[in-house]
Each structure stands twice: as C-alpha cells, then as structure tokens.
Chains A and B, each alone.
Chain A
Amino acid sequence: MHRPEENPAPAIRHRRHLRNTAIAVALGAVMFTVGAVALSPNGPGPRESSTTASATSAQTRGIEGLRARVKRLPKDPVSWADLGLALVQQARTTADQSTYAQAEGALRRSLALQPAENLHAEIGMGALAAARHRFRDALTWARKAVATSPATPASYGVLADAHTQLGQYEEAENAVQKMADLRPDSASLARASYVFELRGETARAKTLMARALRAAGTPGERAFAHTHLSSLALESGDAAAAERQAQAGLAITPRDAGLLEARAKARAAQGETGQAVADYTAAIAAAPLPQYLLGLGELQQSHGNREQAEAQYAVLRAQETLRRATGAPADVDAILFEADHGDPRQAVTMAEAAVRERPFIAVHDAYAWALHRAGRDEEALAEAERALTLGTRSALFRYHRGAIHQALGDTTAALHDLEQALAIDPSFHPLHAPAARAAIRRIDGTP
C-alpha cells in the first residue's frame, strides 16, 4: 500500500539550472577538500584516558585514545599503525575522503619508523588499499603481513577480501578458512558467512552471520552483523525480519548509514515509502554513497516523483564527473546508474575498465547490464553467466540475465530467470521488479 508523501515538494521550474548549480557546488567544494587533504595535525584532543600498553586493546580504546597515545609516544610504530587502521575502519562507515587521507598519513608514519616486519601497518595499508578499491595492492600488503606473522587472523581477512574482489574465489575461501581456524571471531565468521552467501547457501550464511553477531565485541561489529542479517532476510523476501534486524542495529548505532539503508529497503518493500525516503535521506546525510543516492532516486522515480529522483541523480552525475577527473575505476552503482539513467555506451566503457581492475561477480553483472542497455546482448549474456557462476542467489543478477535472454529471443530462459528473480525477492528493485512482472505477462501473452 503506497502512502503519499508527508511533505510533497513544490514543483521545480529551473531544473536544468538547478542541476548545474548542484554540480558546480559539489565540484567546487570537492576540489577545495581534495586540495586540503594533507594530513591534518591532530588538534588539541581530549585528555588522554587510561590506556594499556597492549596492542590488542588498541581497537577498543577508540580513535581519540589512539590519537592521544601517538601524541604521547610519537616514536611508537604500533600506535601509529593502530590509529591508521582504526581510521580506515571508521572511514568505511562515513566514506569520508579526509579520514582515508589521515589513515594513510598515520600508516606511512608507522612504516617510516619501522619499515620492515611492521605487522599492524601492513594490515592497515592492505585494508586502506581495499577500501580504495586497489585490490592488487591490498593483496601485496596482505601477503607481506602473512609473511611477517603467519598466525595473525586479520592478515588473512585482507587477503580474503582482495581475492574475492579479484574473482579468485577458491583462494579467498582458503584465506577465510585459515582466518577462522586461527580465530573464529566476529570478523572471520562474517567473512565465512559471505562465502556461503556468494555460493547461494543463504541459510548457512544467515546462521554464520548470527554467530558473527553473538561474537561481536564492538558496536561497529554489531552494526555490521545486523546490516547483513537484514539484507539476507530482505533478499529472501522477508521484509519484516529485515526491518527488525535493521531496527535492532539502529538501537545500538543510531546513525549508521548501512543500517539506515537496510531499514529503508525493508520499509520500501513493505510499502512504507515515506519512512523509506526518510531513512535513505538520513543514510545519505551520514555517508553520501552512490548506492544510497541511487536507491533513493529509483524509489522516488518508481512513485513518479521525477523531481526528487532527479535531485539524487544530479549528485550522482556530479560524483561521476569527479571520478572521471581522478581516473579512478568506476564502482558497480555508478555503472548501473549510467546504464539505466545515462549513456549506456559510456556505461560499457566504465564497466570494461572496472572489470579489468576487479573481475568480481557484481562487476560482471554491471558489465552485462551495460552491454545489454547498449544493445550488445550476445556479449551481455556471457557476462551475465559469469556473474552467476558461483550460484549466488541474487534477484538482481537473475533479472538482468532474464532481460538479456528476452532481448535475445530466448523466452523460455527469460521466463525462468525472471520468475526466479521474483521468487527470491518479490520487491528486489523499485523499477526492475515491476518490469520483471510486466515482462512475464508479455511472454505469457496475458493482457
């Protein structure tokens, strides 16, 4: 049941003008920040709280404690490395460019103090490279860390993440196995869950993510586990359970962007559009990630709110302009956005570069979709097959392949994929789920 917006926005008269303004504002400001990302000195922080000398407690001390510690012990490579890694993990939830720059500064400082066998800095640099989607660099750092300390679980975590994104799934599984054998904690159980999720073994993935939640020792870990328990529930078509999981996470970390997005999706699936919009909006305020912008934009578009959708798309275009200026490889969300709401040929170009850097199934899927939208369905099918090679239970991947089959005139295969997509999650996408239903009706020849 679709509920009308609480505060319908007045119509826009100067849409194009607005879009240009938004881009100009975004560009100008980003240039300004990019120009200012030298490692900022840690200003006068709060008084140092009690700390212990052991590195293991570093993660629980929080970033402020670590900042105070490096101020007191500027020659200690371990404290600099721990600060760097903590900043990487914080940046993951805020997507803040300046935090990554600070993280790199702290890690480089650690490596300058101790260039060889600097375990924590090697893990930190690997995590930073992965966060910046430089997965080959991440692999190099992870291997260094493994050589330094063959029994440290976190090194295998970086290794597993990099192998996964590089499409080396068997190596990734072995790294996760090693990590969990060394220490079955929240970090390794979450990765084990992901292995089964990618294989399409959803029940196993849920069980393990629930174990990761039980083992979680920090609010960040609990938020992560709730986020993915929510998405696992949603992707099995259980929107109510998905909302409960997101709600439980938000009770612990109220402004976590990932959890807000999870609740937005769960609410959208249950027809609570107004609340979904509010959650997306809050998520974007916390971390303006392309996936949130696209999620909100397409949700608005599906309800005929072109202006609100266009507002999100304008920011996505500004981000794309920036990306191209920096030459970084495009992300999946940017490719799908370009394919669906921009220039499909441009999306193909983006996807070609992305899949070279990162032959992960989700990138193959985006590449397939870009090719399809550009009318190159034969090639698209090959990529869609690669996206589903692990047997992943993804409604979106299924829908994409189904649409490609349909374009190629293979209605039997199309029907099968489209029905599968809706069986996995009847509300998998605000625009594509209705499209899938319409396509099935057309194939069946029912009016």
Chain B
Amino acid sequence: MKSNSARPRSRRVLNQSLLVLGAGALATGLAAFTLAPGVSSASSHREAPLIAGDPRADNTDVYAYTSLDRPDSVTLLANWIPFEEPNGGPNFYAFGDDLRYNIKIDNNGDGDSDITYTWRFRSSYRDDANQFLYNTGQVTSLNDPDLNFRQVYDLVVTTGGKSTVLLSGVPAAPSRVGPASMPDYAALRNQAVRNVPGGGQTFAGQAEDPFFADLRVFDLLYGGNLSERGQDTLAGYNVNSVALQIPKKALALKGNPGRNPVIGVWSTTDRQGVQVSDSRDKHGDKWKQVSRLGNPLVNEVVVPLKYKDAFNTLNPDQDRTVQPVVDKVLDPILPKLIQQVYGIPAPAAPRRDLFEIYLTGICKACGPIQADLNAHRLNKDANLKKIVPAEELRLNMAVPPTTSPNRYGVLAGDLAGFPNGRRLTDDVIDISLQAVEGAAQTGRLVPALAGGDQVDTNEVPFGTSFPYLALPHTKSVNSGPNAPEKR
C-alpha cells in the first residue's frame, strides 16, 4: 500500500469528497459499483421465498416393529427435522405449533387410514421477557422453572371420523442443551414418557437421529459412483421424534391380531390452508397434508423427481392413480444405472417383486416372492375386493421379534425386519440396494453389492425399552471427538 502523502492530486479530491459524505455515502458509492439496474428488487415488487425449507413439516423416517420387551405391543416412531446440530443454540429445535403430526394405520388394505394418532404441540415461554433464553439455569425436571421454553402436546386418536383426546398437555422432552444445563438428560427423557389410557406409552422430543446411511450411494442417480462410501451422512445429528407403543389389539382389524396380523403404517404432517380466491370451491382453509412417509428411501428409489410434490399430498389410496409412479416401481432407474456403472445385470422388468415390497405387501398370491409375509390379503377378515396397491410400511404383527436382529432383515431370513415393518437397526440402504437388484425374488444377496453403502450400524447403540431411541448428541458434529461439550 502506498502511503497517503504520495497520493496524486485527483485522488485526494475524490477521497476528500467521500470523506465529506461520511461513511454511509462511501458505502453507497462503493456498493453502487456492483449494481446494474433492472436486476434489483424494488419496493414495488416483492420476491417472496419460493422453495422453502420446511424441516418441521418434512417427515424423515418411520419405524414400526413388535416391541422386543413387550411382544404384545407394537412400537411406532416417526421423525422430523433432520440434521439438527447438537450445538443448535440459540434456536433450539421445536415441533411446529401450526402443524399436526400424524402416524396412520391401515388395517384392512384399502389405502385409507383406519386409526390415526395425532400429536399437536403448543409452545410457551415461562419468562416472556427472556424469549432468547432456552433455559435460565440448570434444568433438573420437566417442570423446572429454569426451563424457559417448553412444549406440551395433546395426543388424539381418530377412528371412523371420530376423534378422541387420549392425553392433554403432555410435556415434550426439550432440546438437549448440554451437561452443564441438563446434568441428567436421561431423567428428563424418562419424565417425558407417559402412559396412554387403554394401554401403551407415548413420547415426543429430541433424540439422536437413528437413521444411518451414506446417502452418497444415491448419487449414482446423478452421475456419481460408489467409490466414495462408508461415511455415515447422519452421524452426530439429532432429530425430533414422536413415538407410540400401543397394544397390537388396538391396531389390528376387528381388534384381532391373531386373525388379522397385518397393518400398514405411514406418517404425515398437516398444516392449515388458506382461502384466497373467490372460487366456488371454498375449502382453502381446510388442513392440508404437506408431507408423507411410509417405506424408507421411497423418494430415492421409487418416486421420480417431478412427482415428489404430488406424492407428498396423496393419500395412499390415490397412489395407484399416478401411473408414472407405479411405472417407476415396475421399472426403476437405479438397477439400470448399476448395470451401466458396475456391469451387474439389472433384473428384467416389470418388477412385480418391488411392486409387492412397496405397494401390496408380500404374499404368495401377490407376486413372485414366495412367502406369505406382510400383505393385507393375509388378514382373514379383510375384504379382498377393497384391497388396493398403496405405498405403506407393512408389518405382520404375528412375526415374533428377534433377539439378535440381522441388519439385512427379511433378505437374511430375519423375518422381523424390513420390509416387514422397520426396526431401528435395519440397514435399509443395503436392503433397498439388494432389493432393487432382485434379491427378494431370488432369495440370494447380490455379492457384487455386498458392501452396500459400507455403513452397517448406527453410531451409538439404541435403548432396550421405549422409546428405544438414543439420547441426543451434545457435541457439535464437525468438531471432532475432543470438542468441548456444549454448556
């Protein structure tokens, strides 16, 4: 840099002028350098955001399995808000007060929900003047005055169009701030588990994200390859979960899990709409389904990009009306790409085996997979005429739980795992990859893909009792193992 005394005269004039204008005008002058007219926002033209992040509404995963420690009950889990950084302050992670979080059960196979469990949250601050503080001191219980921000929920069950409030004002487990603020977070978690009238338990709150995967394997679809694998994309992150453990008889058709052991499960999120135009059809302000999830990775393996938005709004009984989605189940892209890149021959289309896994459930009469596993047709009281292909996570509740689960589930002969329901330890990426390569039909794993995504387990062990989820992480994800814990 030149010294100031050596400035040419003209520069001095300019600098003096700018000096006179004050710092603000200097900034103005400089910033104007990059402004060309015609590409600016204007006071008269507002460009509202377009593609929104809506993590509080977007379902990430659903699990359904017979509870190992209570085999007369099923555990249902659903997650939202992926990639929660443990050091998420000052904005900790809350459920949306403007949303309804649902887990839906179809026990007769018509693609419509017969039993819907809904969690509706309400937020409050204990000290309104300090809304920027999550907690004002050490939190040792859920009703500790030091817990400044809190959420409670109502749990509602809806059957046959009739809604019943099962529980009201249940506290959700808070975001885990850190060991100094919450020295015994496990105790807070335990206080957030409540009994449900008529049997079972409910939980809502933060948890470690149980999903484990190297999602880069799906970059095959986008011109990537499998050379980069083995890193758990979700390691170290938390999610917000709702969980329900419920007696099998409460879920089964006619309350009889012996005769009707198969249920279809999926999770949805609703938000209230708005009536804007003067159209004759005035249903704008009704609640709308904005997100939906049943089988894991359905968006990656099955639904084409241009139908993802439509899929989120559909009820499963409408799935079969969207022919392009059905076509993609019968003739998916992924095996063809794997053939191109790795020379593993893609199974011949139409893929009736995948149609079973995703849309009907597996039974000998349903398609080529030689097993009576989890199709609604297996329910003795089901009306076969009413059963339709619909994307749901199907669970046969009569299959006893396995004490030492195999991560490949059904493909390895462990019938209590995905795609018969989904357990926390099921390696759904590897199962899905094998399934699209035809392993469910042949009964043999494809050796060339044996590595899968090379992420075989979650980074932390799961619990042995409800809600089974691991406690939330407290260390920042990108900080390495020796990072200081959050306070």
Residue of A nearest to B214 (CB): A50
Q: Which of B17, B43, B221 has the most CB of A within 10 A?
A: B43
A60 and B53 CA atoms in complex are apart in Å by 6
- Chain A 191-217 interface mask (CB, 8 Å, partner B; 1/0): 110111000000000001001001111
A interface, by DSSP: helix, strand, loop or mixed?
helix
A228 and B299 CA atoms in complex are apart in Å by 35
Any B CB within 8 A of the CB of A3 = no
Q: A173-B277, A326-B37 are in contact. Are A22 and B29 (CB under 8 A)?
A: yes
- Chain A 113-146 interface mask (CB, 8 Å, partner B; 1/0): 0000101100100010011110000000000000
Contacts of B275 in A (CB 8 A): 177
Any B CB within 8 A of the CB of A418 = no
A89 and B312 CA atoms in complex are apart in Å by 24
Q: A53-B218, A215-B98, A218-B49 are in contact. Are A152 and B306 (CB under 8 A)?
A: yes
A30 interface neighbour in B33, B58, B310, Cβ under 8 Å: B33
Are B309 and A151 neighbours in the complex by a CB distance under 8 Å? yes
Are B218 and A360 neighbours in the complex by a CB distance under 8 Å? no
Contacts of A100 in B (CB 8 A): 39
Q: A10-B20, A72-B224 are in contact. Are A97 and B35 (CB under 8 A)?
A: yes
Any A CB within 8 A of the CB of B13 = yes
B36 interface neighbour in A97, A251, A277, A278, Cβ under 8 Å: A97
Are B34 and A161 neighbours in the complex by a CB distance under 8 Å? no
Any A CB within 8 A of the CB of B21 = yes
Classify chain B: how many residues form its interface, as a range: 35 or more
Are B22 and A221 neighbours in the complex by a CB distance under 8 Å? no
Any A CB within 8 A of the CB of B54 = yes
Q: A98-B34, A281-B24, A284-B24 are in contact. Are A180 and B276 (CB under 8 A)?
A: yes
A338 and B54 CA atoms in complex are apart in Å by 42
- Of B266-274, B348-356, B461-469, the one touching chain A: B266-274
A268: min CB distance to chain B, Å: 15
B44 interface neighbour in A117, A318, A362, Cβ under 8 Å: A362
Contacts of B248 in A (CB 8 A): none
Any B CB within 8 A of the CB of A57 = yes
B256-295 with Cβ < 8 A to chain A: 271-279, 284, 288, 290
- Of A12-20, A373-381, A403-411, A426-434, the one touching chain B: A12-20
Any A CB within 8 A of the CB of B28 = yes
Q: A284-B24, A311-B25, A332-B44 are in contact. Are A177 and B279 (CB under 8 A)?
A: yes
A40-92 with Cβ < 8 A to chain B: 49-60, 72-76, 78-79, 85, 89, 91-92
Any A CB within 8 A of the CB of B478 = yes
Q: A151-B309, A185-B52, A315-B28 are in contact. Are A9 and B39 (CB under 8 A)?
A: no
Contacts of B234 in A (CB 8 A): 50
Are B27 and A284 neighbours in the complex by a CB distance under 8 Å? yes
Any A CB within 8 A of the CB of B347 = no
B316: min CB distance to chain A, Å: 16
Are B50 and A89 neighbours in the complex by a CB distance under 8 Å? yes
Any A CB within 8 A of the CB of B380 = no
Q: Which of B21, B35, B478 has the most CB of A within 10 A?
A: B35
B156: min CB distance to chain A, Å: 20
A206 and B300 CA atoms in complex are apart in Å by 39
A37: min CB distance to chain B, Å: 9
A218 and B341 CA atoms in complex are apart in Å by 37
Any B CB within 8 A of the CB of A348 = no
A172: min CB distance to chain B, Å: 9
- Chain A 238-278 interface mask (CB, 8 Å, partner B; 1/0): 00000000000001000000000000000000000000011
Are B223 and A74 neighbours in the complex by a CB distance under 8 Å? yes
A323 and B273 CA atoms in complex are apart in Å by 41
Any B CB within 8 A of the CB of A229 = no
Any B CB within 8 A of the CB of A322 = yes
Contacts of B44 in A (CB 8 A): 331-333, 360, 362-363, 366
Any A CB within 8 A of the CB of B183 = no
Q: A14-B17, A333-B42 are in contact. Are A182 and B50 (CB under 8 A)?
A: no
Are B13 and A17 neighbours in the complex by a CB distance under 8 Å? yes
Residue of B nearest to A91 (CB): B39
Contacts of A281 in B (CB 8 A): 23-24, 27-28
Q: A73-B219, A165-B45, A281-B23 are in contact. Are A176 and B37 (CB under 8 A)?
A: no
B381: min CB distance to chain A, Å: 35
Are B48 and A191 neighbours in the complex by a CB distance under 8 Å? yes
Any A CB within 8 A of the CB of B57 = yes
Contacts of A54 in B (CB 8 A): 215, 299-300
Q: A26-B29, A284-B24, A318-B32 are in contact. Are A182 and B42 (CB under 8 A)?
A: no
Are A185 and B271 neighbours in the complex by a CB distance under 8 Å? yes
Residue of B nearest to A73 (CB): B222
- Chain A 313-348 interface mask (CB, 8 Å, partner B; 1/0): 001001110110010111111100000000000000
Are B51 and A123 neighbours in the complex by a CB distance under 8 Å? yes
Q: Which of A54, A96, A149 has the most CB of B within 10 A?
A: A54
Any B CB within 8 A of the CB of A230 = no
Any A CB within 8 A of the CB of B56 = yes
A170: min CB distance to chain B, Å: 8
A183 and B268 CA atoms in complex are apart in Å by 13
Any B CB within 8 A of the CB of A174 = yes
A312 interface neighbour in B28, B38, B49, B308, Cβ under 8 Å: B28
Q: A119-B305, A311-B25, A312-B25 are in contact. Are A79 and B222 (CB under 8 A)?
A: yes
Contacts of A75 in B (CB 8 A): 222-223
A180 interface neighbour in B27, B96, B221, B284, Cβ under 8 Å: B284
Are A290 and B42 neighbours in the complex by a CB distance under 8 Å? yes
Contacts of B45 in A (CB 8 A): 130, 133, 165, 331, 360, 362
Residue of A nearest to B31 (CB): A288
Are A73 and B309 neighbours in the complex by a CB distance under 8 Å? no
Contacts of A21 in B (CB 8 A): 13-14, 17
Contacts of B288 in A (CB 8 A): 180-184
Any B CB within 8 A of the CB of A446 = no
Are B310 and A78 neighbours in the complex by a CB distance under 8 Å? no
Are B233 and A50 neighbours in the complex by a CB distance under 8 Å? yes
Are A132 and B48 neighbours in the complex by a CB distance under 8 Å? no
Residue of B nearest to A5 (CB): B22
Any B CB within 8 A of the CB of A439 = no
Are A60 and B13 neighbours in the complex by a CB distance under 8 Å? no
Any A CB within 8 A of the CB of B216 = yes
Are A284 and B223 neighbours in the complex by a CB distance under 8 Å? no
A296 and B49 CA atoms in complex are apart in Å by 26
Any B CB within 8 A of the CB of A189 = yes
A190 and B46 CA atoms in complex are apart in Å by 10
A328 and B38 CA atoms in complex are apart in Å by 6
A161 and B50 CA atoms in complex are apart in Å by 10
Contacts of B216 in A (CB 8 A): 51, 53
Q: A89-B50, A187-B52 are in contact. Are A332 and B43 (CB under 8 A)?
A: yes
- Chain A 275-310 interface mask (CB, 8 Å, partner B; 1/0): 001101100111111110100100000000001100
Any B CB within 8 A of the CB of A370 = no
Are A319 and B49 neighbours in the complex by a CB distance under 8 Å? no
Any B CB within 8 A of the CB of A39 = no
Are A322 and B37 neighbours in the complex by a CB distance under 8 Å? yes
A29 and B50 CA atoms in complex are apart in Å by 32
**B contacts, CB < 8 Å to A:** 13-14, 17, 20-25, 27-29, 31-58, 82-83, 96-98, 132, 215-216, 218-219, 221-224, 231, 233-234, 271-279, 284, 288, 290, 299-300, 305-310, 312-313, 477-478
Given A14-B13, A185-B57, 19 additional A-B pairs, CB 8 A = A25-B33, A30-B34, A50-B83, A53-B222, A55-B305, A56-B58, A72-B219, A76-B222, A79-B222, A123-B51, A181-B288, A190-B49, A191-B48, A211-B98, A220-B49, A315-B28, A331-B38, A333-B42, A360-B45
21 CB contacts below 8 A, A to B, read A7-B22, A9-B21, A21-B14, A33-B36, A50-B231, A53-B218, A76-B224, A96-B35, A123-B51, A133-B45, A177-B279, A181-B288, A182-B309, A183-B54, A214-B97, A215-B98, A289-B41, A296-B24, A311-B25, A318-B32, A360-B45
Give the top 7 A-B pairs by smallest Cβ distance, nearest first.
A328-B38, A281-B24, A362-B44, A323-B37, A29-B33, A151-B310, A76-B222
